[in-house]
Chains A and B, each alone.
Chain A
Amino acid sequence: MKFSSIFFLLFIFSIPVLSFVQEDTEKSKILNSNLQTLPLATDEKLSPNEYIAKLNKYVEDQIIGHEKAFEIKYKLDFYLGRNNNTKYYYIPKLNIHYQYDEKNIYDSSYVSGFDDVCAANPDTDFLYYVVPGKRNSIPDKYVATDYNQVSNAERQTKIKENLSQYQCITTEYKPDLLNLTDYYNYNHHYNSNGVYKTYIDFMTTYNNLYGTDYELMEPNDLKEIDVPSVFYQNDLTNDKIDNYTTERIPANMEEKGTSNAYRMISQNRVGYYQNPNPTPEGEDVLFVTDSFGQGMLSFIMEEFNSVNSVNFYDYAEDPQLLEDELENNDYDRVIIYSYDYNVLNR
């Protein structure tokens, strides 16, 4: 038998053994993807196909060298000039830089349109709430998976500068969130812990700012279904996320087909949530959010009387949408909820 055959056999036999012996659950924990343990075939809720899909995912997650492979692959990509997220190409050896020519959502002028709307509506209360970047909370060993090359220190300085210039900002940047290691997904967006913590942080800030007295849900109040798996999907760019329902989602949301919070934004839909148990002191808010805010919707909608959620990017691109929305409706508050990229590059 040839050398390459022996090498091949050595690999395909040793990798599963090593993966079994040295189970690596760290990434799964960060993902909070519930894949730290082998899915059980005895679970009566599982259909065979679902079980197989979970088993595949578990095996993919736990394969030995998984993190190292990611690190090498992304470094390789970077040095080959592939830097997808920032639409920027750099080939170090040739010292060639290339910037995408297409509309760039991280362009410095992209979200400045909100400023004008804020200025034109002095009677409307705006809250600009910043979500810190995932780069800050992922352990250094996983940073290779993040295309963002801005250092933590540089990021914090820039955000503070941006916030100080923005007349409508009423919140402070939250450095304490950066210490949380179970906040963001491995690649993208919140994990299920992160979404709960975001909600708590947001509503605490809100209560403090406006003197409201919204009662926050305790973790013990939450059922598993309230923190659905949709928030820890790695690849949120596809349409494979199944619809889910939660006990907290009112019927009218179901009717509008927006029961999947992420799907709503992925399809640029506008989601309107009306609390079935409104209170006299409850508020009506316009929630301008990027995908990072979607996870909170099923929590905050119970707090307010109504939440109208709209796509941050659509509104940033065309601020007239925001202007029209304010003209035609009577909101108590406009919340602009954004991932820090959008603030950094204002």
Chain B
Amino acid sequence: MLFNSIIFLFYFFPIFIIVYYLTKGHARQLVMLVSSLIFYAWGDVSYVPLFVASILWSYLAALVINKYRNKWVLGLSIAVHVIVFVKLKYLYFLVGAFNSIVHSNITVQDTVLPIGISFYTFQMISYLIDVYTNKTKVQTNLVTYGAYVSMFSQLIAGPIIRYEEIEEDLLNNKFNSTRFSNGVKLFIQGLFLKVVLADSFSAIIDQINNRDASDQYVVLLWLMTILYTLQIYLDFNAYSKMARGLGGMMGYEFPQNFNFPYVATSVSEFWQRWHMTLTRWFKDYVYIPLGGSRVSSIKVLRNVFIVWMFTGIWHGAGYTFVFWGLWNFCWIYLEKEVQLLKKLPKVIGNMYMLLVIMIGWVFFMSPDIHSAFEVLKGMFFISDNPVYTPWLWGFLFQYAGYLLIAILYSYNLFGSLEQKMTEISPISVEIGYCMLFVITLLFVITSTSSPFLYFNF
């Protein structure tokens, strides 16, 4: 089920929230668990058994880990999750890569990736490690644990939440009017970003992609890359905002996942602001256990490399994602070694970051490395693509308003405006949100729900 679908907005969520607040304690957790399973099954019922089995496995494994404190038990319990994850997400790619290297002809069937598996697997692994390292208490109640893992607000595309972060709210869940109100605002913001902005850009990107190769003008390729840069941010940020908003309405406070990444002045800073819960996960469960920065420079290089390879392939089983990870690794490592950026004006730093990130997105959005390089060659005048077409103005006329709003949003200008308006006239902000909700509903009703980009990862 999608947050921007009519069935969720007007049927699932209203019924859920009533039943949720009519119950207390374990009953409320049970409502959360059952509702989340229904929510998950709505996408595809066949994914549910694996999801339930994963919950049961990590629940039992955590109990055993807590009792014996044995690293082999921890290793085995994580390995099972990893094997399932790798089998479903990477086996087809790995076998294909193996075949091309050794010229063999091993065949495996490509499987459909269960929705959200990358997120819930990481969440469960973090729980198992935290139980082993005593960072968190083991949860002995299956319903409570199930409610934590399956919580529908963040099940499909994060944020990746640690058990300890929401344990208190989970065990002593109460209605909190401040959290509820903030949650509603976050949800409306997210819905607007997704339905009005991200989906509009998706339509225009499709139009450009569907053009013949001979019609790929340089300006059009740049426009497509810029639009994708905005779309992926708005889309994923929208989901995170809606997730946090729903969490707030249910009495939780989920960690922030995006902090206006496009205002960053370096690639490293960008990654401190983008998908923050994933970056944090890799830092805490991969980078630091490997020694982090407190080791020799060659080992730091190795650690950063490993983290970025993992980050790349976490996003998808393909060479483009490996290359994308490598691309980010190179710039982040370079920034660590060369301190030049700190001396540059912020505007230049921001432009440098945007250029690096946009080139990275070209790999991210391309079906293969060759196509990505073709686009880049076109963008940088290396191939003989025609430069300009007046047809471009048609696009810009259509989407100029949306583009402007998206850019202003990405640079946090609306956030600043909201803050000032709240000081001057709080009611005007409230009315503004109501209007935003009504406008967004217009788009929700008139468009078929399109899935979020990050569901694929």
Show the binding face of A for B, using Cβ within 8 Å: 1-5, 7-8, 11-13, 15-16, 19, 48-49, 52, 55-56, 59-60, 63, 65-66, 69-70, 72-74, 76, 80-82, 84, 87, 89, 91, 96, 98, 100-102, 234-235
Contacts and interface: CB of A to CB of B under 8 A. Distances in A.
Interface in B1-60: 5-7, 9-11, 13-14, 41-42, 44-46
Given A72-B442, A100-B394, A101-B389, A12 B6 contact: no
Contacts of B185: 4
A28 to B, nearest CB: 15
B104 interface: no
B437 A69 contact: no
Given A4-B188, A81-B398, A69 B434 contact: no
A109 to B, nearest CB: 18
Interface in B397-443: 397-398, 401, 427, 429-431, 433-434, 437, 441-443
A56 B448 CA distance: 10
A59 B433 CA distance: 25
Given A12-B9, A98-B397, 18 more contacts: A2-B430, A3-B434, A4-B181, A4-B431, A7-B433, A7-B434, A8-B187, A15-B10, A16-B14, A59-B6, A59-B7, A59-B11, A60-B7, A60-B448, A73-B442, A87-B394, A101-B391, A101-B394
Given A15-B10, A73-B442, A87-B394, A52 B431 contact: no
Interface in B442-457: 442-443, 445-446, 448
Contact of B6 (A63, A91, A96): A63
B72 interface: no
A102 B427 CA distance: 48
Report the 9 A-B pairs with minimum CB-CB distance, sorted nearest first: A4-B433, A2-B181, A101-B391, A3-B430, A69-B445, A48-B45, A73-B446, A5-B184, A89-B397
Contacts of B45: 48-49, 52
Contacts of B393: 98
Given A3-B431, A4-B433, A63-B6, A13 B14 contact: yes
Given A101-B390, A101-B391, A89 B445 contact: no
B434 A16 contact: no
A48 B11 CA distance: 18
B145 interface: no
B7 A3 contact: no
A101 B446 CA distance: 28
Nearest to A71: B446
Nearest to B401: A80
Given A11-B441, A55-B7, A81 B180 contact: no
A202 B427 CA distance: 62
A283 B100 CA distance: 53
A82 B207 CA distance: 14
A4 B426 CA distance: 11
B177 interface: yes
Interface string B194-225: 00000000000000000000010000000000
A70 B6 CA distance: 15
15 contacts: A4-B184, A4-B433, A4-B437, A7-B430, A59-B7, A60-B6, A60-B7, A63-B445, A65-B445, A66-B445, A73-B442, A73-B446, A80-B398, A80-B401, A89-B397
Nearest to B400: A81
Contacts of A87: 394
Contacts of B431: 3-4
Contacts of B177: 1, 5
Contacts of A82: 398
A101 B177 CA distance: 54
A69 B11 CA distance: 19
A74 B437 CA distance: 18
B165 to A, nearest CB: 24
Interface of B is mostly: helix
A82 B181 CA distance: 35
A16 B5 CA distance: 13
A37 B287 CA distance: 56
Contacts of A11: 437, 441
Contact of A89 (B9, B46, B394): B394
A8 B6 CA distance: 14
A12 B441 CA distance: 10
A5 B181 contact: yes
B296 to A, nearest CB: 53
Contact of A8 (B46, B184, B397): B184
Contacts of A60: 5-7, 445, 448
B374 to A, nearest CB: 21
Contacts of A84: 398
Contact of B448 (A2, A74, A235): A235
B180 A5 contact: yes
Interface centre among B181, B443, B446 (most CB of A within 10 A): B446
Contacts of B215: 102
Contacts of B184: 2, 4-5, 8
B11 A16 contact: yes
Contacts of B443: 73
A65 B444 CA distance: 12
A16 B397 CA distance: 36
Contacts of B397: 81, 89, 91, 96, 98
B437 A3 contact: no
Nearest to A72: B442
A234 to B, nearest CB: 8
Contact of A69 (B5, B188, B446): B446
A7 B438 CA distance: 10
Interface string B144-167: 000000000000000000000000
Contacts of A74: 446
Contacts of B180: 1, 5
A93 B228 CA distance: 30
A96 B284 CA distance: 55
A8 B188 contact: yes
A4 B430 contact: yes
Interface string B105-128: 000000000000000000000000
A340 to B, nearest CB: 25
A266 B414 CA distance: 43
Interface centre among A12, A69, A91, A100 (most CB of B within 10 A): A12
Contact of B5 (A19, A56, A65): A56
Nearest to A235: B448
A76 B389 CA distance: 27
